């Protein structure tokens, strides 16, 4: 036994698979006893007795440990119930009573009873038939609770041989103990449907032949379980090797233990330190902003506290004037924060190291909230307190204190409301309330939740056009501030002084966009419409158009709208001699743009391999389409503008994460890194600009067709990246994770293709596709272990749902030497 232990430790995969005993069907029936006692399956088809007793289990042997290592290699139920078997069974028993009131569970209820998600292929129904056939149970009219327990325990066995036999029986439709090519093809079609792999479904005959060629070397025309076992053994050995390799580089978890189990004081200090390290720019700028607002409020409050008008209107006047002073400052700031050209220039200066320019949109919204609060205080104090006190003040007191300010005529309440400050103030409140309402998430992104009457006011267009009404607000603001009553000297009427510089910057940018180099009418080199409602535009690069990877630009199509501009990430690299953007049709404008290009683009199935797909890479960027660009709709661009991802060169290690179309800014970065590799290879230069040493790209998409968008880039990376600087991980979330029986045959095809050096069966590129979503904690743990003492830049673009998890991972796996810096694109 000592020798066995040693062998198990040295080569666990080999020991595991050598111990597999192939499960054969038995001729004898199954004995079922009451569930409260022992369940014994005599002469079962699982190759031995299966017992459930109430006593203590014996100490697991080395053989048991080896067999259990196959648990994740092939499974039929989602999740693990290890250590919770009885709890899980009680839940199933409860559902059985609900779904089978007559004591017989039908085939169509089996999946719901064992908590298996419904899918169009009725995988649970297939399992039901196979398990009944294996146990020689007549299940046409349903199964009892005892029989369900047997089925459930069969599905949850830890050893791989039992699971392999069930999977073999799933493939062996006629139950003759052999799998023919037609049966392989049927299961592949079933697997493709279960995993929404429409492209793979069209090639099932080819892949069925591939499996037969691999598993039927003697050309008998069928596969036996021993042949399938060999392939599974190779697959599992490969995965086990990776697992053992990762174990050798496990992350030291002392800091994680301290963070969870340290004293309250140590946990508080550590968390505070992490928050400060991750957010110090935001914190100091926010503190500065709050201090300025408080300082302005207090200064103006005290100024009017010492004026004669205080004797008439009291503290209401002080609050109103203090709020007004903060309004002036915030109205100037909120305008500056949308001066994209100015902010893009500032990003390239030393100021980017102390100011969080990536958060300018969030800070814009925060400033807008402060404006709303200041407006509320200012208006309420005037209308409910200052005006009534002013009009009801004794005439002699009014004339003595405020007479000169009102030309010695005491106004009535209607007079104050109808005055220039009154009318301009009311108009500003109405316009701002309208614009702010349309900018809320309810109107911008949740139109379906609105009453039908208001739905035409929802969406990006309503928000965009309504925001242009704020131009009137600034005109009214200047008038409002100039005609105030209590200040006589023009140089003390400071409203125009606050907004002069931001207004000048904003107007200048608009004029530059209209008449200068940032405004380009471009010719379209090529338009490609992909599956998944994605349009790729390849544009002639205007002279002098300089940008960095990660930046974005605005696109306008006058044929659709003469005024609408929409932002899109640039997917080409700075070194390319063309511009490209990938646009997903999710709104009225983008859908119309896609339809217009679709009507003039050549069909996808007629495009030549190596044509436009290869245009994505620098090697083939000199490709010029033969057809005229006049057939395409007119396209105008403006930009480029700065974005969080453009700062990627500050880090030695990159973790790039894109969800769906959110991969676009990351693709530009990868192309830029690829261009640097090619340049260095051709020139043998050693003095090239600083670029990251390693880049890890995780692209998660739910549609197989999405991989066509950047297939050329992926193939070029596989071809040119000899030093493995870029590590790509494509994840298809619609496919059941590796090890699930519903994707097992697809995994086999994928591994066979990979072993032959052919393209990936899912993506059609040379980059392997992983199934399901990544385990982000595992990803971050691996990076922290591999790159100790590094500053790792994490760049994410995609839906907001993943932001919290990624932030927490950055925080959890950062320590005193290794730090993760999170950057999120505004998606």
Q: What is the pLDDT of residues 676-685, one digit of tens each?
A: 877 766 555 5
Where does residue 702 rank: exposed (0-12), middle (13-18), buried (19+ CB within 10 A)? Answer: middle
**pLDDT of 461 above 60:** yes
Which domains does the chain possess?
Answer: 2-176 (1.10.238.10), 291-419+485-515 (no CATH), 519-733+773-824 (3.40.50.80)
- pLDDT at residue 757 in the model: 72
- pLDDT at residue 11 in the model: 43
Average pLDDT of span 383-397 = 92
Higher-confidence residue of 48 and 214: namely 214
Structure tokens at 339: 């001066």
Sign of CA dihedral 633, 638, 639, 641: negative
Name the nearest CA neighbour of 12 among 59, 69, 58, 56: 69
- pLDDT at residue 259 in the model: 52
- pLDDT at residue 685 in the model: 53
Average pLDDT of span 652-674 = 91
Average pLDDT of span 635-652 = 88
Q: Give the model's confidence band at 80: pLDDT under 50 very low, under 70 low, under 90 confident, else very high.
A: low
Average pLDDT of span 346-369 = 90
Say how far apart CA 709 and CA 580 lie, in whole Å: 12
- pLDDT at residue 624 in the model: 41
Q: Mean pLDDT: which of 233-237, 256-260, 475-479, 540-544 is highest?
A: 475-479
- Span 141-170, pLDDT tens digits: 889 989 888 888 888 877 777 888 888 888
- pLDDT at residue 592 in the model: 92
Average pLDDT of span 546-554 = 91
In degrees, to the nearest 5, what angle opens at C-alpha 782 toward C-alphas 826 and 662? Answer: 20
Average pLDDT of span 355-359 = 88
- Span 740-796, pLDDT tens digits: 777 777 888 878 777 777 777 777 777 888 888 899 999 999 999 899 889 999 999
- pLDDT at residue 447 in the model: 65
In a 3-state reduction of DSSP, which class is residue 734? coil
Both ends of the chain: CA-CA distance in Å?
59
Query: Which segment of 164-173, 546-555, 609-618 scores lowest on mean pLDDT?
Result: 609-618
Could you tell me the strand order of the sheet in which 635-641 lies? 519-522, 635-641, 552-556, 566-569
- pLDDT at residue 82 in the model: 57
- Span 698-729, pLDDT tens digits: 999 888 878 888 888 888 888 877 778 888 89
Higher-confidence residue of 652 and 20: namely 652
**pLDDT of 292 above 90:** yes
- Other C-beta atoms closer than 10 Å to the C-beta of 653 total 19
Task: Kindly report the length of the chain.
Answer: 827
- pLDDT at residue 428 in the model: 95
- Span 185-223, pLDDT tens digits: 888 887 887 777 877 777 888 888 888 888 877 788 888
Higher-confidence residue of 27 and 490: namely 490
Query: Which segment of 344-353, 503-512, 673-682, 806-815 scores lowest on mean pLDDT?
Result: 673-682
Q: Give the model's confidence band at 54: pLDDT under 50 very low, under 70 low, under 90 confident, else very high.
A: very low
Q: Give the model's confidence band at 24: pLDDT under 50 very low, under 70 low, under 90 confident, else very high.
A: very low
Sign of CA dihedral 326, 331, 332, 336: positive
- pLDDT at residue 67 in the model: 44
- pLDDT at residue 42 in the model: 36
**pLDDT of 688 above 70:** no
Contact 342, 336 (CB under 8 A): yes
Average pLDDT of span 374-387 = 94
- pLDDT at residue 60 in the model: 47
Average pLDDT of span 810-824 = 86
Q: Give the model's confidence band at 476: pLDDT under 50 very low, under 70 low, under 90 confident, else very high.
A: very high
**pLDDT of 174 above 90:** no
Segment holding 779, helix H or strand E: helix 776-786
Higher-confidence residue of 388 and 452: namely 388
> What average pLDDT does the chain have?
79
Enter the pTM of the model.
0.74
Q: Give the model's confidence band at 581: pLDDT under 50 very low, under 70 low, under 90 confident, else very high.
A: very high
Percentage of the chain lying above the pLDDT 90 cut: 26
Query: Which segment of 49-63, 359-373, 644-658 scores lowest on mean pLDDT?
Result: 49-63
- pLDDT at residue 262 in the model: 58
């Amino acid at each position: 036994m000592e020798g066995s232990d040693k062998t198990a430790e040295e080569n666990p995969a080999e020991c595991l698979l050598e111990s597999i005993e192939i499960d054969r069907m038995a001729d004898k029936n199954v004995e079922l006893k009451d569930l409260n006692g022992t369940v014994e399956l005599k002469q079962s088809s699982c190759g031995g007795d299966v017992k459930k007793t109430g006593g203590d289990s014996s100490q697991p042997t080395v053989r048991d440990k080896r067999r259990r290592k196959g648990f994740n290699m092939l499974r039929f139920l989602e999740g693990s119930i290890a250590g919770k078997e009885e709890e899980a069974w009680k839940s199933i028993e409860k559902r059985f009573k609900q779904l089978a009131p007559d004591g017989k569970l039908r085939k169509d209820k089996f999946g719901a009873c064992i908590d298996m998600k419904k899918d169009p292929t009725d995988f649970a129904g297939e399992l039901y038939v196979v398990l009944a056939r294996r146990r020689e149970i007549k299940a046409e009219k349903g199964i009892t609770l005892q029989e369900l327990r047997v089925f459930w325990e069969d599905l949850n066995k830890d050893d791989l041989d039992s699971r392999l036999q069930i999977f073999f029986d799933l493939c062996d439709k006629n139950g003759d103990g052999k799998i023919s090519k037609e049966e392989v093809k049927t299961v592949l079609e079933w697997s493709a449907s279960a995993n929404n792999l429409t492209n793979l479904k069209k090639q099932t005959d080819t892949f069925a032949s591939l499996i037969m060629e691999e598993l039927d070397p003697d050309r008998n025309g069928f596969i036996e379980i021993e042949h399938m076992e060999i392939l599974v053994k190779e697959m599992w050995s490969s995965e086990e090797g990776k697992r053992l390799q990762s174990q050798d580089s496990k992350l030291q978890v002392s800091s994680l233990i301290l963070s969870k189990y340290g004293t309250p004081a140590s946990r508080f200090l550590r968390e505070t330190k992490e928050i400060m390290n991750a957010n110090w720019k935001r914190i100091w700028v926010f503190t500065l902003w709050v201090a300025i607002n408080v300082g302005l409020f207090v200064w103006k409050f005290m100024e009017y506290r010492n004026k004669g008008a205080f004797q008439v209107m009291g503290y209401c006047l002080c609050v109103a004037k203090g709020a007004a002073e903060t309004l002036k400052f915030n109205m100037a700031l909120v305008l500056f924060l949308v001066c994209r050209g100015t902010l893009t220039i500032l990003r390239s200066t030393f100021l980017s190291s102390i100011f969080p320019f990536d958060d300018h949109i969030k800070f814009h919204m925060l400033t807008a909230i402060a404006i709303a609060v200041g407006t509320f205080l200012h208006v309420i104090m005037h209308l409910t307190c200052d005006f009534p006190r002013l009009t009801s003040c004794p005439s002699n007191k009014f004339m003595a204190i405020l007479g000169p300010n009102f030309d010695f005529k005491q106004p009535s309440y209607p007079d104050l409301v109808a005055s220039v400050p009154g009318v301009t103030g009311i108009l500003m409140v109405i316009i701002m309330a309208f614009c702010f309402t349309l900018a809320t998430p309810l109107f911008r992104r949740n139109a379906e939740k609105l009453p039908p009457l208001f739905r035409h006011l929802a969406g990006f267009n309503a928000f965009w056009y309504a925001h242009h009404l704020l131009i009137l607000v600034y005109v009214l603001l200047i008038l409002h501030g100039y005609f105030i009553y209590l200040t006589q000297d023009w140089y003390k009427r400071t409203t125009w002084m606050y907004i002069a510089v931001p207004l000048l910057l904003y107007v200048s940018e608009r004029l530059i966009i209209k008449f200068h180099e940032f405004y380009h009418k471009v010719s379209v080199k090529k338009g490609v419409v992909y599956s998944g409602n994605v349009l790729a535009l390849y544009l002639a690069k205007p002279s002098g158009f300089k940008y960095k990877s990660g930046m974005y630009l605005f696109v306008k199509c006058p044929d659709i709208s003469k005024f609408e501009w929409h932002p899109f990430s640039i997917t080409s690299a700075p070194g390319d001699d063309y511009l490209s953007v990938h646009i997903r049709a999710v709104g009225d404008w983008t859908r119309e743009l896609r339809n217009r290009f679709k009507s003039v683009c050549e069909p996808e199935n007629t495009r030549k391999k190596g044509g436009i797909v290869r245009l994505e890479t620098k090697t083939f960027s000199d490709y010029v389409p033969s057809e005229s660009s006049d057939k395409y709709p007119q396209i105008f661009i403006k930009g480029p503008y700065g974005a969080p991802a453009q700062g990627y060169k500050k880090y030695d290690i990159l973790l790039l994460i894109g969800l769906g179309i959110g991969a676009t800014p990351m693709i530009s970065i990868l192309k830029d890194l690829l261009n640097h590799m090619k340049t260095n290879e051709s020139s043998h230069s050693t003095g090239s600009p600083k670029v990251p040493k390693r880049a890890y790209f995780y692209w998660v998409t739910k549609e197989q067709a999405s991989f066509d968008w950047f297939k050329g880039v992926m193939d070029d990376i596989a071809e040119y990246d000899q030093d493995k600087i870029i590590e790509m991980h494509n994840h298809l979330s619609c496919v059941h994770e590796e090890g699930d029986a519903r994707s097992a045959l697809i995994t086999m095809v994928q591994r066979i293709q990979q072993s032959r050096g052919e393209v990936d069966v899912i993506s059609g590129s040379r980059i392997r596709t992983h199934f399901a979503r990544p385990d982000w904690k595992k990803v971050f743990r691996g990076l922290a272990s591999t790159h100790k003492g590094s500053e790792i830049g994490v760049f994410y673009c995609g839906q907001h749902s993943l932001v919290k998890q990624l932030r927490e991972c950055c925080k959890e796996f950062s320590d005193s030497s290794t730090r993760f810096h999170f950057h999120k694109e505004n998606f």
